[in-house]
């Protein structure tokens, strides 16, 4: 993988390290330890710099990931036998990358808003820090409502990008086995079967899928069977490209082979799919070519249900924040059924985000880089024990960090925002109250 596409994939990550990571690393310490040492305006500036750094970090990482989903601005060089950048601006402004960035960042904002809303609700249920909790709930409700609406709108744009760039992923997440007359209907629920290659007990809403995916009423959405037939044609073309490339390797001056390769270069990755079954794709039988074509279909049930869980939680978040916004506007912050709902909802955005990444990455299979490099050819040359030791090491390390982080958050929540004031000035609550009987914070 590093040799084949590292020239493109490594550039955004290097920029992320030089730009965003150092920006975050410089200011995060000042933000955490500068509360009593920096002036309020200076600390606010530092906080904004950390936020800017994290967003820039997300941008460059998702530009790299977006290129794996839609490899624009690059081409295979038959002389170096690797992918190389041809247009960095195309990589930077990749429509898939831009759609993924705004959708992912908005999802992060929703996650943060739910956390603030849930902790505020927890304080109100316990009758602690009521004024602080009400103000925090109001801010979280407004910001969360805007963010949750933007997630849906930007997620729709991210899905629209699949129409041109990842048609198989779109067909799989909708379990659309065959092309339907335009505009296609949306299957709300059903039971997709990889064995039967159909969706059992499907319930459809007419027209909706066509309108969402194509923004028209006359353009069809291609089904899995039709896309497999297209993949089969591209595999056959890729075999020709592979043969021409082998001829160029044997004789770099063979202009006829170079010309033939140029005609079929865009399908080389599809030809490489056959290497799962034969060392030389040129020796593949028609049956193997058909089998490789069906390998381009990801796990339809996994994508189908992942998308619906993600989208369902997204709708719940809009309802949650919409209700919170109304209650805060009416000054009914302490409506107990809603407070319990807000606390219970804390893990939901994390769940939705994880299913979203399953959709993005599992739905790209069998490709490490869409249409360019099959996943099985992008694997490391390390031995199985080395890979297992690395995976176990990372799992243990990040698992320990997760336990520590959750423990610190729970400790901070239990401690509350006014612990120091209450410890050193226990009578402050009687002289300075804000709505709920607790002392006003020095920094809100």
> Comparing 23-27, 117-121, 387-391, 436-440, which segment has the lowest mean pLDDT?
436-440
Is 170 in contact with 221 (CB distance < 8 Å)?
yes
Mean of the pLDDT values across residues 322-342?
Answer: 97
Domain ranges of the chain: 2-166+300-429, 169-222, 225-294
Q: Across all residues in the chain, what is the average pLDDT?
A: 91
pLDDT at 418: 67
* Confidence category of residue 432, pLDDT binned at 50, 70, 90: very low
pLDDT at 439: 42
pLDDT at 57: 94
pLDDT at 115: 97
Is 257 in contact with 251 (CB distance < 8 Å)?
yes
Task: Quickly count: other Cβ atoms within 10 Å of residue 231's Cβ.
Answer: 24
| 29 vs 241, more confident | 241
pLDDT tens digits along 251-301: 999 999 999 999 999 999 999 999 999 999 999 999 999 999 999 999 999
Q: Which residues lie closer than 8 Å to 268 by C-beta, 6 or more apart?
A: 76, 238, 241, 242, 245, 372
Asked if pLDDT for residue 426 goes beyond 80, the answer is no
DSSP string spanning 38-95? S-HHHHHHHHHHHHHHHHHHHHHHHHHHHHHHS--SEEEETTTTEEEES-HHHHHT-H
Mean of the pLDDT values across residues 341-354?
Answer: 97
pLDDT tens digits along 134-170: 999 999 999 999 999 999 999 988 888 888 889 999 9
Asked if pLDDT for residue 174 goes beyond 60, the answer is yes
What's the pTM?
Answer: 0.89
**Residue 207 and residue 270: Cα distance in Å, rounded?**
33
Give me the percent of the chain exceeding a pLDDT of 90.
80
């Amino acid at each position: 993988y590093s040799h084949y596409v590292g020239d493109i994939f490594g550039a955004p990550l290097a920029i992320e390290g030089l730009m965003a990571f150092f920006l975050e690393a410089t200011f995060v310490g000042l933000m955490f330890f500068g509360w009593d040492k920096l002036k309020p305006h200076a600390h606010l500036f530092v906080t904004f710099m950390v936020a800017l750094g994290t967003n820039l970090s997300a941008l460059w990482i998702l530009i790299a990931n977006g290129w794996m989903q839609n490899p624009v601005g690059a081409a295979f060089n038959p002389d170096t036998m690797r992918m190389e950048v041809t247009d960095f601006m195309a990589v930077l402004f990749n429509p898939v990358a831009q759609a993924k960035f705004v959708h992912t960042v908005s999802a992060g904002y929703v996650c943060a808003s739910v956390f603030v809303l849930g902790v505020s609700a927890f304080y109100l249920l316990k009758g602690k820090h009521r004024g602080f909790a009400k103000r925090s709930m109001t801010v979280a409700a407004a910001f969360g409502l805007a963010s949750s609406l933007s997630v849906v709108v930007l997620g729709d744009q991210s899905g629209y990008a699949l129409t041109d760039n990842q048609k198989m992923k779109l067909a799989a997440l909708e379990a659309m086995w065959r092309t339907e007359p335009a505009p296609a209907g949306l299957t709300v629920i059903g039971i997709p079967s990889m064995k039967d290659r159909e969706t059992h007990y499907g319930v459809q809403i007419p027209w909706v899928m066509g309108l969402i995916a194509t923004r028209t009423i006359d353009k069809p959405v291609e089904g899995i069977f039709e896309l497999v037939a297209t993949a089969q044609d591209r595999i056959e073309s890729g075999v020709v490209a592979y043969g021409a490339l082998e001829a160029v390797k044997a004789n770099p001056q063979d202009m006829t082979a170079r010309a033939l390769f140029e005609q079929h270069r865009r399908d080389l990755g599809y030809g490489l799919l056959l290497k799962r079954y034969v060392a030389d794709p040129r020796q593949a039988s028609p049956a193997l070519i058909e089998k490789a074509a069906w390998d381009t279909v990801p796990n339809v049930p996994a994508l189908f249900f992942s998308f619906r869980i993600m989208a369902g939680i997204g709708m719940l978040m809009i309802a949650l924040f919409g209700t919170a916004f109304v209650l805060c506007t009416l000054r009914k912050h302490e409506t107990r059924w809603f407070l319990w709902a807000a606390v219970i909802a804390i893990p939901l955005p994390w769940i939705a985000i994880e299913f979203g990444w399953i959709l993005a990455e599992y739905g790209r299979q069998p490709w490490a880089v869409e249409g360019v490099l099959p996943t099985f050819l992008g694997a490391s040359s390390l031995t199985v024990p080395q890979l297992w030791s690395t995976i176990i090491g990372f799992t243990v390390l990040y698992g320990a960090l997760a336990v520590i982080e959750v423990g610190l958050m729970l400790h901070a929540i239990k401690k509350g925002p006014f612990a120091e004031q209450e410890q050193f000035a226990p009578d402050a609550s009687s002289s300075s109250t804000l709505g709920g009987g607790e002392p006003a914070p020095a920094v809100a």
